[in-house]
Structure 1
Amino acid sequence: MLIYLKKFREQTMAAGRRRTLSLLPVAALLMAAGMTNAYSAPKTLLVLGDSLSAEYGIARGAGWVALMEQRLQAQKNDTRIVNASISGETTSGGRARLPKLLEKNKPDVVLIELGANDGLRGLPVAAAEANLRAMGEAARQSGAKVVLVGMRMPPNYGRDYAEKFYGVYGKLAKEWKAPLVPFMFEGIADQPKLFQADRLHPTAEAHPTILKNIWPQVAPLLGAK
């Protein structure tokens, strides 16, 4: 009788092990599916900029932000883009608006394209740096990745001021180990025909090049190519 009971227990335990092993592939598949869904969940990109990102003087849908959205859609990438850019915006204005934008949109990536209006008004470099730093820190504390877009001042503002102003972007990007677009006007700054009559704002024809300069720093964060 004891022999029979022993065999029964052994058979029962073996059957249990077989059921457990048979369930492992299913569990692995479910876990993989969950990880894939989490990784591929649509992201949100918040663009905090000035007139250079707000399609000043050009048709709606012709600016680099709209072109980026079109490119993402062509790749079947579901990233949601919130363009919170306002013409005339300064770093202080962006700093004041950012907290509510972060709370409302909960972005995965925040692209900061601000500072041009500070520089054109000759505002202190230290103030612009403090505002950019505050924005970047707020975005990072919310869990978002930060992308900085650098801006150079025209030579008539003086070499010292221009170099100090431009250096702020690289300094902050290095501290945060964040992607930096060195100069959004790379490839068009020396072509007057690509600027509007005010010689400050790019024409619609220039925006594909602006996107070309920005795309490599943003695309990897959005799972785009």
Structure 2
Amino acid sequence: MSTSRRAAPRRSQSPAPASARWRRPAWKDPRLSGGIALVGAAVALGGWAVAAAADTTDVYVLSQDVAPGTDLTADGVLTLVASHPGTGAYVEAGSLPQGAVATRSMTAGELLPRSAIGSAQDLGLRAVVLDVAATLPSTTGTGDYVDLWLLPDEGVRGDEAQSGAVMVAQGLVIAKVGEASTGLLGGPSTGVEVRVPQDSLDEVLGAVAKDGALVLVPTGQEAP
């Protein structure tokens, strides 16, 4: 007796998923493209920063406050700082003229501009140290304008006696204020270095030689 074999039923094949049929090439993935762009931008920015940091030059900067007539070549007045090239308005290292002085007041930390240097002869100011009888206000310092007054000496009598305070000179500029001390006669005094215009020098030196107390009165202005 023969047996008939039944044919095995054919399994129907389901269609392959769409993701299996077609995949986006990896190099076309927008996330990969964005990452590559960010890396490229970072590399370019880093290269620019390194180049910019290397492109610097040394320029002079004030280490202390200065008044017109201050010797800029003296020790401790200037130092050097690295700066990016600008308009050339500031004095570069090695370019400070011999005998250069400040032509205006400047503050510590300020870059030295070319327009603020000159010669002592052209400026026409002379340095004089005065032993003044009264201390200056705490707000008065380097670069401020003061007037010089001579007070009468109470010990002088007769025709030589001075009737009252006399203004000696106007428009003096403070260069340096020393420490207060006690004078030979017991009164307080302060040594103050001032810049005196040439046409006022005779009056100032004459007042120093006279009996009486010298007093500096701030005008409330700063030297330009």
State which structure, 1 or 2, has the greater radius of gyration over its C-alpha atoms.
Answer: 2
Is the structural similarity TM-score above 0.5? no
Whichever structure has more helix as a proportion of its residues is: 1
Give the TM-score normalised by structure 1: 0.31
Whichever structure has more strand as a proportion of its residues is: 2
